[in-house]
Amino acid sequence: MEFCDECGSMMQGRDGTWVCTNEDCGFEKPKGDTAEFVSAGKQEDSGVIDVSDAEDQGMPKTTVKCPECGNMEAYYYMQQIRSADESETRFFICTECEHKWREDDH
């Protein structure tokens, strides 16, 4: 599917040309000038995140019980680690013992 560079309306293919379906616009361009779609395929984990300086990075804090030491405060951040139609995963870092854990929505 192609969209008009001028007005954002849907384009229609005619004889090797994309033609804007908005009659007031009239924008046209050759079909060869389209952006290439690249599939991301299987998403991979983005790797290790250094959280040792969480406080220096201004990470927000929340009230949650650390499963390691029982402290009731932790830094948190959210990251998309599954497919786009799944909710983000919340990661916590204890402000006391720096234990790291995650919480998924189920």
| pLDDT digits 0-9 by tens, 48-82 | 656 555 555 678 899 999 999 999 999 988 887 77
The amino acid present at 36, given as its one-letter code, is E
Q: Are residues 26 and 51 in the same domain?
A: no
Average pLDDT taken over every residue of the chain: 77
**pLDDT exceeds cutoff 70 at 8:** yes
For residue 104, the domain's CATH number is 2.20.25.10
20 annotated as ligand-binding = no
* Domain tally, the chain: 2
Q: Are residues 63 and 19 in the same domain?
A: no
Write out the residue range of the structural domain in which residue 20 sits: 1-38
- pLDDT-based confidence at residue 16 (cuts at 50, 70, 90): confident
Q: Are residues 28 and 9 in the same domain?
A: yes
Q: What is the dihedral of CA 73, 77, 82, 87, to 10 degrees?
A: 80
